Structure 1
Amino acid sequence: MGWTRRGALGAGIALGAVPPFALPAAGAPSAATPFPLSQVRLRPSIFLTSVQANQRYLLSLDANRLLHNFHAGAGLPTKGEVYGGWESRGIAGHSLGHYLSALSLIYAQTGDQQFRDRAAYIVAELKAIQRKQGDGYAGGTTVERDGKTVDGKVVYEELRKREIRSTGFSLNEGWVPLYTYHKVMAGVLDAHRHAGLAEGLAVAIGLGTYLGTILEGLSDVQVQDILRTEHGGLTESYAELYTRTGNRRWLTLAERLRHHAIVDPLRDARDDLAGHHANTQIPKIVGEARLHELTGDTDHARVARSFWTIVTRDHSYVIGGNSDHEHFGEPRKLAQRLDQQTCEACNSYNMLRLTRHLYGWTGDARYFDFYERAHLNHIMSQQHPDTGMFTYFTALAPGMGRVHSSPTEDFWCCVGSGMESHSKHGESIYWKRGDAVAINLYYASTLDAPEAKLDIDTQFPLGDTVRIAVRTAPRTLALRVPGWCTAPLLQVNGRTAGVRDGAYLLLTGLKAGDQIALSLPMPVRVEAMPDDPRLVAFLSGPLVLAADMGAGDGRSEGPDPALVTDRAEPVLAAAGGLHRYRLGGQGKPGDLTLRPFFAQHDNRTAVYFRRFGTAEWPTAQLAWARASQERAALAARTVDVIRLGEQQPEVDHAFADSGNSAAVSHVADRSRNVNIGYFEFDLAVAPGPLTLQVEYGGGQRNKDFRISVDGTPLAREQLTGDVTAARNIRTYTLPPETTRGKSKIRVRFDSDTWQGVEVYTVRTMRSETI
């Protein structure tokens, strides 16, 4: 039967009464399940501070501004202007889905009704939009057609007619429209689950039906062609529709949305991830995990386990994050991939979601060793607790600071996932394991459930003692012993107690009023890069330590800190208090204080340190110092420089473009893209021979664009060379006639076709130091 507005929405409303966990009976068994977020409340701690900062940010946003394109596309009156950043571009709409998920999660985490009310408003508006569209569609994406910006629905209708033009981030010239579609679908499903909004399921069914009808009209080959473009977690969303409704149509669609080019090698435990965009793949694997849980098919489980092992073992940095410039590299080759674009926050957000699935299958505590590391060191570093703003990347190059989003002018993908991450810090603390209650994370909180009522009082991870007050005793309480802790001490009412069972300490016979004390000593340890034992990082208990290199969000102009010692595992000097240490005399060019990386939101830091032996240092010191000298020499030769993508430098240099140049604003060194059309700006010049130095993104090759000065052609650039470099710096000689008698020149980059070349800095330079 064809989809009709009346029939499908009516069916959705009826199905909204179905319990959200009406799981079909044929699924795989589960060893552990998390307690619902609504049964957990956070107590004063860094985690509660984070949630409160996120609450303030969520309340500052206007749902109608995020709904602007949805209303406009449906021909309904708009109720607010479009936000800036990504929301003013073709990917608009993804933020609404994340925002809806975050509202629903934070309602479950806090019980604050105003967040549920906002979620209910958005769901009602989406339902009205679907009603106006008449076919279940609701979307905020836009696309260019014949020189005009039009509603992104045109892409889906082209797919319906089997017109498919798919690349990594472009589907029929739309910027990842299926990725955005998934975010909205996930948002309404979260509103159904976490906020108890039955209409969320109705809207999800409408969205699933519209896209599903298109996909059902395509061949498997055509669907796989579409899946080459980033499409988020659509597999998981369709699997969830099956979970909530029992309708096997949705399970069939979930299975068809498996991207075989990615999952098939993983099924065979092959690592073919190098060169792939990292976060494009992780949601696909979360979908595999969900399909295993629904069907019991071991192939799905094999894919999920293989991927998790490969990524955490061979592609992850010490903070638990992965990827450089958003992409996987060769396995266990990370030492040369340390710069300002390591560790995209979305990746860890999704890896933690995958980890929860895998832990649930086995109850194996090693999954929580990873979860704890990535959550504390990456996720907790992503949000500034004072402003509530988020990072995109977590730079691990020495001397780098963090770049945080603005409230209304960025809306990167990591702002969206950040809204969710910092709405739900209580979701993985408490788990059911048979008749036992397991505590996997020692975050200050309260569990109020039929099985147990417990209060955790602790400063963890900033303290090493955990106190648990029992109000209603579980039959068994299982306390996870972290992998970094070799000598835990457990007491009940002042007496040593507990039985060790693998990675858990077990307590039975508890009663109301019992007081539990768990001591978790936090030793310092050294962790080296897998491909370079002389590049080391330090951890104190669960926390990665970093050298404090002073305030700032750019890169330090001084030399990178190094260690001179003959110890394979250097020893730090205590600096007073837990998690505070010094490099001491082994630090070069001098001593530095180390403290938890996650908390240094406003500082430049160093996480990894190059270790030199005492005998080799006198020679190595020369090369080490040369890098600092080269930076100083560059500054001396520079006449003028523009840092593209930054507002004030562009204003100062009279920046202008043809409308298609995109600012890349999520890294410390911001940039501009060379796209169709042009961008141009002024640069100062000085007497004497000059050059124009341009810093391009390192991995971009085989391009075709032009550079001109005051209308005179300077270069036709194609960018060939080493694709593994972090930067590609090109120098162009400025003919004397282009600068003679002038105080400034007008530099233009232009192209006839889309190139996507990132231009970071452009500077006029004296040909020789004077």
Structure 2
Amino acid sequence: MKGFVASRRAFVAGTSALAIGGATGAPLWGAETPARVQPVPSRHVRLKPSIFADSLAANRRYLLSLDPLRLLHNFYASAGLPTRGERYGGWESDGIAGHTLGHWMSAASLIIAHDGDPQLSAKLDLALTEMARIQQAHGDGYLGGTTVPRQGKSADGKIVFEEVRRGDIRTRGWDLNGAWVPVYTWHKIMAGLIAAHGIGNARALPILLGTADYFGRIIEGLSDAQVQELLHAEHGGINEAYAETYAITGNPRWLRIAERLHHREVLDPLTGQQDKLAGLHANTQIPKLVGLARLHELTGNPAHATAARFFHDRVVHHHSYVIGGNSEREHFGPPDQLADRLSTATCEACNSYNMLKLTRHLYGWSPHGDLFDYYERVQLNHMMAHQRPDTGQFVYFMPLETGARRAYSAPENSFWCCVGSGMESHAKHADSIFWHDKLTLYVNLFIPSQLAWRERGLTLDLDTAYPMDGEIALSVKAAPRTATGIALRIPAWATFATFHLNGTPIDPPRRDGYAMLHRRWQAGDRITLSLPMTLRSEPLPGDPATVAFLSGPLVLAGDLGPDATAFTGTPPALLAQGNPEGTLRAQPGAHRYQLAPVLGPAVELSPFYAMYDRRTAVYFKTFTEARWAADKDAYLAAEAERADLVRRTIDIFHIGEMQPERDHALTATGGAPGEFYGRKSRRLPAGQSLRFRIARRAGPSVLQITYWGDDIDRVAEISADGTPIATERRAGPKRSDWVVRDYPLPPTTTASSEIAIRALQGDSVLYGVRVIATPAP
């Protein structure tokens, strides 16, 4: 490692130059584009008792339970310093260590900014003190915990950054020279330092400038083509991190680097307003657009705004499910085609976390209520479902497949990306309730709270049981001597919203989704807003006969039993003559309904977010009487076949996707992931081989592999645990369809087997792997 360390003198000189060059450069595109509206800082807001306050409290407890010195385990080792505590498990022990620390710092900073939390402040200060010591030991600004497998051992990930510095860049999209997304992790660390600096911690900025300089010198030494190759690897919002560093320092060097970190293959089509998202890993892309939005604010470049707005519109209106989340198995599919994408792996939480960040930027430029209609939908129906309020643990995917259940993280042995972003998401409940411009206070979220805004001389209470009912009251406790505007968001679904001022009905003017009230307020004034909780249905994009139900802002779900009991029934379907919501019957209690499916017992519906330990149905097939009579037998047969396959499935391997390949320990001597007709794949050239592990259970079972029918004259050998089980030969004729081949597996007494495949003739392309139990004779 000694050969990779620059001199301490060079490092000090480089960071000194940063300060000297602070404010010498102008933005590349002229004047900045200041936001029209800004959030009221959360230090002026106090949450009152509610589900949001419970969520924040649970999250704070979890943040306090984590030891930042343990999160720094790999950082100490990288710098040759003694470690301080055992390394955490899960992803923290799997090469990506550091991303959790970055999110932890950001989340802690959000809570400290909100209420000054002294316990979290002390922990954050300890983490920064140690990070400075680690960075000093490196001497060149490096600060990382990434590891990389090399020659069967775990090596310090710094070696990867130094390889990139020399122009040695190799990536399959989710790795960089064999390391798991090290630039993504670098972004998380920089973001955490930026957040800590933002709350006034003086220790953060020198560390931030060191990290910016280390990676910045790497980027500055690469050609544009090399930078683009580097950006093929998932890199989070590294462009945003450099944009924010520029905003803090005024040093144009950071802005130049931020603009170079522009992934043209993805961002240029979006700038041209082309939706080419199908097949892309969703959360790899969203942070790039958050970075572009920030760059637009700093430079005025209109192309950045065009791309950010277009992307947001396409994802929200053409790639999202009813809860506001997007992606299936982490990937975008074709727009408006979600009918075959209802699974246990829908709606990755990180995607919603980043979409909410992007929404805040767009709203700041143009305060339209529909943006916060979307924000509220995601916050209530995805993010509030994402965290257990009793333990503070998180869900990776929010499954929308009928009968699915949620899988929660373990406190010290998960640390998925969605645990990290979850820490931040549930530290933010106070930061978007109130927004403002020079004349108007915008009330965007109906979260019980008190606003004590001394700079404006305005104090008011927001009291409500929302979202359980639609009665909202704003009580003025103190007001400025001049007239002030208050804008209340009217959700698009609230057709019959009504208002009272001091008990008198009023009909305020409306603009851009808001009721606009302007007057000289006095202590004791009281505004009430009533939002009738309307019941309505919303079709699944791509299948108008499959619908979800909403009551007011809340998505409803059918209760299919406790999560510990597998759902083996037929998914509830409805007879609906063009009016699906007419099939529901109101029950006692808020947002509670009952539906009577065409087959099976009645199903109780209630708010989806709160069904933490239940199996659920969110989408429901609907039939007219004529269609049911014609399709009943085929529907029941298809559902019976699907249920039988679910019962018999031992393992599913979505080959060609990052996390499944890691979960199944895939290694390959050659080839690469690919995609065809919306399905991920793994190509294996002739003469190359790959290996992976599959789950097994006692009894006879079959390995199923899916191929494309036009791929003929390909020969491959397949073995299990060293025993040959098949030679795959498909001589033709060609068939433009998926072909599933079954290979009986030899008996085993172990919980897993290693599958090896060697391509002998032609390129073998695998589109999916499944292990199923052989049905009893």
Q: Tell me which interval the TM-score lies in, with the shorter structure as reference length.
A: 0.7 to 0.9
CA distance in 2, matches of 1:724, 1:251: 49
Give the direction of change, closer, same or farther, for the CA distance of 1:45–1:15 in structure 2 (3 Å limit): farther
Match of residue 54 from structure 1: 59
User: Any stretches of 5+ residues in structure 2 without a counterpart?
Assistant: 1-5, 654-662, 669-683
Match of residue 692 from structure 1: 702
CA distance in 2, matches of 1:723, 1:34: 54
CA distance in 2, matches of 1:697, 1:210: 45
Give the direction of change, closer, same or farther, for the CA distance of 1:40–1:743 in structure 2 (3 Å limit): closer
Matches within 5 A, 1:414-425: 414-425=418-429
Which residue, out of 148, 152, 155, partners 2:157? 152
Decide whether the 8 Å contact of 1:74 with 1:132 is kept in 2.
yes
SS for the counterpart of 1:588 is coil
SS for the counterpart of 2:355 is helix
Match of residue 602 from structure 2: 591
Give the direction of change, closer, same or farther, for the CA distance of 1:238–1:680 in structure 2 (3 Å limit): closer
Decide whether the 8 Å contact of 1:143 with 1:174 is kept in 2.
yes
Which residue, out of 504, 509, 525, partners 1:495? 504
Matched, 1:515 2:526: yes
One-letter code aligned to 1:231: H
Matched, 1:102 2:107: yes
Provide Cα deviations, 1:6-30, integer angstroms capped at 9, x if missing partner: 34556789999x9xxx999931132
Which residue, out of 583, 604, 623, partners 1:612? 623
One-letter code aligned to 1:408: E
CA distance in 2, matches of 1:119, 1:79: 16
Matches within 5 A, 1:457-476: 457-473=463-479, 475-476=484-485
Return 601-610 or 165-174, whichever deviates more.
Answer: 165-174
One-letter code aligned to 1:684: A
Give the direction of change, closer, same or farther, for the CA distance of 1:643–1:246 in structure 2 (3 Å limit): same
Match of residue 588 from structure 2: 576
Matched, 1:625 2:631: no
Q: Kindly state the Cα deviation for residue 57 of structure 1 after the two structures are TM-superposed.
A: 1.1
Match of residue 567 from structure 1: 578
Q: Kindly state the Cα deviation for residue 185 of structure 1 after the two structures are TM-superposed.
A: 0.5
Which residue, out of 114, 120, 141, partners 1:136? 141
| Percent of paired sites with the same residue | 47
CA distance in 1, matches of 2:743, 2:441: 67
Match of residue 537 from structure 1: 548
CA distance in 2, matches of 1:603, 1:415: 21
Matches within 5 A, 1:314-713: 314-449=318-453, 450-451=455-456, 452-473=458-479, 475-497=484-506, 499-502=508-511, 503-507=513-517, 508-552=519-563, 556-571=567-582, 572-584=584-596, 586-630=597-641, 642=650, 679=693, 683-685=697-699, 691-694=701-704, 708=719, 711-713=722-724
Decide whether the 8 Å contact of 1:693 with 1:765 is kept in 2.
no
Give the direction of change, closer, same or farther, for the CA distance of 1:99–1:633 in structure 2 (3 Å limit): closer
Provide Cα deviations, 1:325-347, integer angstroms capped at 9, x if missing partner: 11111111111111111111100
CA distance in 1, matches of 2:351, 2:516: 34
Match of residue 88 from structure 1: 93
Provide Cα deviations, 1:650-676, integer angstroms capped at 9, x if missing partner: xxxxxx999989xxxxxxxxxxxx996
CA distance in 2, matches of 1:435, 1:357: 20
CA distance in 1, matches of 2:367, 2:571: 42
Q: Kindly state the Cα deviation for residue 529 of structure 1 after the two structures are TM-superposed.
A: 2.1
Give the direction of change, closer, same or farther, for the CA distance of 1:131–1:9 in structure 2 (3 Å limit): farther
Decide whether the 8 Å contact of 1:233 with 1:286 is kept in 2.
yes
Matched, 1:42 2:52: no
SS for the counterpart of 1:273 is coil
Q: Kindly state the Cα deviation for residue 695 of structure 1 after the two structures are TM-superposed.
A: 7.9
Match of residue 666 from structure 1: none
One-letter code aligned to 1:351: M
SS for the counterpart of 2:610 is coil
Match of residue 250 from structure 1: 254
SS for the counterpart of 1:438 is strand
CA distance in 1, matches of 2:737, 2:123: 46
Decide whether the 8 Å contact of 1:24 with 1:243 is kept in 2.
no
One-letter code aligned to 1:504: Y
Match of residue 678 from structure 2: none
Give the direction of change, closer, same or farther, for the CA distance of 1:554–1:303 in structure 2 (3 Å limit): farther
Decide whether the 8 Å contact of 1:84 with 1:408 is kept in 2.
yes
Matched, 1:262 2:273: no
CA distance in 2, matches of 1:110, 1:68: 29
Provide Cα deviations, 1:242-284, integer angstroms capped at 9, x if missing partner: 1100101011111111111111111111111111111111100
Q: Kindly state the Cα deviation for residue 733 of structure 1 after the two structures are TM-superposed.
A: 3.3
Match of residue 674 from structure 2: none
SS for the counterpart of 2:32 is coil
One-letter code aligned to 2:187: H
Give the direction of change, closer, same or farther, for the CA distance of 1:520–1:465 in structure 2 (3 Å limit): same
CA distance in 2, matches of 1:501, 1:681: 59
Give the direction of change, closer, same or farther, for the CA distance of 1:10–1:253 in structure 2 (3 Å limit): closer
Return 143-152 or 256-265, whichever deviates more.
Answer: 143-152
CA distance in 2, matches of 1:535, 1:162: 51
Matches within 5 A, 1:291-310: 291-310=295-314
CA distance in 1, matches of 2:489, 2:723: 68
Provide Cα deviations, 1:529-576, integer angstroms capped at 9, x if missing partner: 232210111111111111111111686211111111212443121112
Matched, 1:285 2:289: yes
Matched, 1:26 2:31: yes
Give the direction of change, closer, same or farther, for the CA distance of 1:717–1:79 in structure 2 (3 Å limit): farther
User: Any stretches of 5+ residues in structure 1 without a counterpart?
Assistant: 646-655, 662-673
Q: Kindly state the Cα deviation for residue 629 of structure 1 after the two structures are TM-superposed.
A: 3.5
Q: Kindly state the Cα deviation for residue 235 of structure 1 after the two structures are TM-superposed.
A: 0.7
Provide Cα deviations, 1:90-134, integer angstroms capped at 9, x if missing partner: 212111111111111122233221111111111111111110111
Give the direction of change, closer, same or farther, for the CA distance of 1:657–1:324 in structure 2 (3 Å limit): closer
One-letter code aligned to 2:490: V
CA distance in 1, matches of 2:335, 2:106: 34
Q: Kindly state the Cα deviation for residue 606 of structure 1 after the two structures are TM-superposed.
A: 0.8
CA distance in 1, matches of 2:450, 2:208: 33
Match of residue 174 from structure 1: 179
Decide whether the 8 Å contact of 1:559 with 1:627 is kept in 2.
no
Give the direction of change, closer, same or farther, for the CA distance of 1:496–1:277 in structure 2 (3 Å limit): same
CA distance in 2, matches of 1:744, 1:546: 39
Match of residue 667 from structure 1: none
Provide Cα deviations, 1:564-606, integer angstroms capped at 9, x if missing partner: 121244312111222111113x553332111111111111111
One-letter code aligned to 2:12: R
Give the direction of change, closer, same or farther, for the CA distance of 1:156–1:705 in structure 2 (3 Å limit): farther
SS for the counterpart of 2:509 is strand
CA distance in 2, matches of 1:716, 1:175: 33
One-letter code aligned to 2:591: H
CA distance in 2, matches of 1:143, 1:225: 19
CA distance in 2, matches of 1:184, 1:38: 24
One-letter code aligned to 1:505: A
Give the direction of change, closer, same or farther, for the CA distance of 1:562–1:261 in structure 2 (3 Å limit): same
What TM-score do the two structures reach when normalised by structure 2?
A: 0.86
